[in-house]
Amino acid sequence: MENTEEPQATEQEIHENRAEVLAIMAEASRKAGRLPEATQLLVVSKTWPVEMVRRAATSGQIHFGESRAQEVLDKVPALPGNLHWHFIGHLQKNKIRKIIHHCSTLHSVDSVALAQQVSRVAGGEGVTPGIYLQVNVADDSAKFGFSAASIVDQIEHVLCLPNLMIEGLNQQNRFGN
């Protein structure tokens, strides 16, 4: 569902806002003893029109997150090819083949079965996506993900799969935690 409001932020405003966020991120990285260049800004572009995403890309932003397969299919072909797309929504097995060539990173691999399917599709398509294993640390029945109690045992099954690069964990928590 795309935001139908007319884009209001100018390229200059987006550029200035992005610079401010990057400065905050750099300071937080330094305080944590990390190199600022080791962190990335992932802009969630879901529901925003292509023109707003284009303005953010013009400001230098290259990592964008989408949560719906249809938005990926609509936006990616309409925008510059140097952008890196991340799928951040609940990933259904029947959508993998549709997005695998468009999204270099999948943030919501929530089961061994889903990881196996991504591995099979990726191998067939000749790609190696980065993945984040989604962990439901709050054990919230309304959320998807590996349970915190089982992730250590189940990660072994994912580590042996070809055509995947595990980037990290994506924590699912209750609102407010």
Confidence at residue 4, expressed as pLDDT on a 0 to 100 scale: 54
Q: Which DSSP category does 128 fall into?
A: -
The model's pTM is: 0.88
Confidence at residue 74, expressed as pLDDT on a 0 to 100 scale: 96
Domains parsed from the chain with CATH numbers: 42-172 (3.20.20.10)
| Cα pseudo-dihedral 169, 3, 93, 79, rounded to 10 | -80
Confidence at residue 138, expressed as pLDDT on a 0 to 100 scale: 80
Q: Divide the 177 residues of the chain into consecutive groups of 10 and give the mean pLDDT of each group.
A: 63 94 96 94 94 94 96 96 96 96 96 97 98 88 86 93 95 63
Confidence at residue 143, expressed as pLDDT on a 0 to 100 scale: 84
> Which of 90, 159, 164, 155 has its CA nearest to residue 147?
155
